[in-house]
Amino acid sequence: MKLSNDNFNIEFIEEICKDVYALQDKDNSFCVFKSIHEIFCIVYPTIDYSIIFYDIINKAKIVEIKKAHNTYIIELRHHLDEQDKFNKRDLILTVSYEDRIVKIWNFNNVECIFNINPYTRAFIHSACFLYDFNLNEIIIIVSNSNIYPQTKESMKAFNLLGTEKKEIEDSENEVIYIDSFFDHKYNKNYIISANKESVTSYDYTENKKYKTYKETNSIYDCTSIIMMNDINDNLVKLIHSTGNGFIKIWDFHLGLLLEKIKINDGYIYSICLLEGKYLFSCGKSYKRNIIKNYIEKSNIKIIHINIETTCKLINLNNLGNFLITKNLCYDRPLNLWKINI
C-alpha cells in the first residue's frame, strides 16, 4: 500500500512485532530508539507481561525479559543516560497499572535498576523521565489516579536510588498522561500533565503550577502531546491532539492558543514531529480521504493518516525516515512505513 500526493508518499513496508499486547492504547504503549550500540530498537509488551527488544534492521528479537511485571504493562519510555561518559546506558521505564509498579531496566545488561510502588491506594496512570540539570541526576515522575475519595491527585518525583525528592499536588482530575520538558533558555524543568479537559504545565524547579492550556467549554480528551522549539517564531510551542479531530498549538510560556486546526471529523489518537517541519497525525475519520495535507502559519506541514493507530517516528540513518504504527487492538502487530518527502 502506498499513500501519496504531489509532495510526499508513505509506503507500507511490512508487519513486525506480531506478539504486541498493550492493555491500553496509549501513545506510549511501545517505544523506539537508537541504542548506544547503534541498534535501532522497538520495545513493546506481550500478553504474558514480558518485554521484547526488537532489532528493526535485522528483523529479529534481541532480548526478552520474561514476566517483567505481574500485570499488564501500559506504558514504556526510553532515556539515554549520559551521566558517565564512559559508561552510557539506555534506560527503559515500564509502568504496570494494576500492581502499581514502576520499573527501570538497563538495556545494556538487561538488569532492573529501579522498582518502586509509590502509591499504595491509587493506580498509576503515567510515568516519565526528567533530567534535573541543576542537580545532575535522573528523576522519575509518577502520576496517580484518585480512585479513593481520600486519595489526592499528585505527582511524585524519585531519583534512581528510590529516594522521593518531592511531591507535586495536581489539582487537575483524571490525569491520563505526563511528560517532561527542559527549557534551556530559562534553565528550568517543566512537567506536562494532560487530562480529559485540559493540559497543565508545572514548574518542577520551583515546585508550582505554571500554565493551563484550555479553551472554554472544551471537554474532549487530550490524546497526544509534543513540545517544539520553533526557531522561526522564537517560541516554545506545546502541540496536542484532541478526541474531536483538532490539533491545537499553544505558546507554552504565555498559555495562549496560537492555532486550532481541524484535521478530521473523528478522533486523533497520536501525533509525532519529523525534523521540526512535518507533523504526522493518525486517527479515525468518517470521510473517505486517507491523507490530508495542511500548511499553516506555524510553518508546520500536517500529514494526517486516516487509520485508528498510535504512531512513532525513527530515522534509520542511510535508510531514511520510517513511521511505526500500532492498530488499536490489544494484540495487533506493529506496522513499518517508509516516509519519502
Look up residue 83 and give its DSSP letter: S
Say which range, 40-54, 64-78, 102-116, 299-313, has the weakest mean pLDDT.
299-313
Cβ atoms 72, 96 nearer than 8 A: yes
Mean pLDDT of the region 313-317 = 93
Domain ranges in the chain are 1-22+223-341
Is it the case that residue 69 has pLDDT exceeding 90? yes
Question: Model-level pTM?
Answer: 0.90
- Chain segment 324-336, per-residue pLDDT in tens: 988 776 677 899 9
DSSP 3-state of 333: coil
Cβ atoms 126, 95 nearer than 8 A: yes
Is it the case that residue 244 has pLDDT exceeding 70? yes
Cβ atoms 278, 292 nearer than 8 A: no
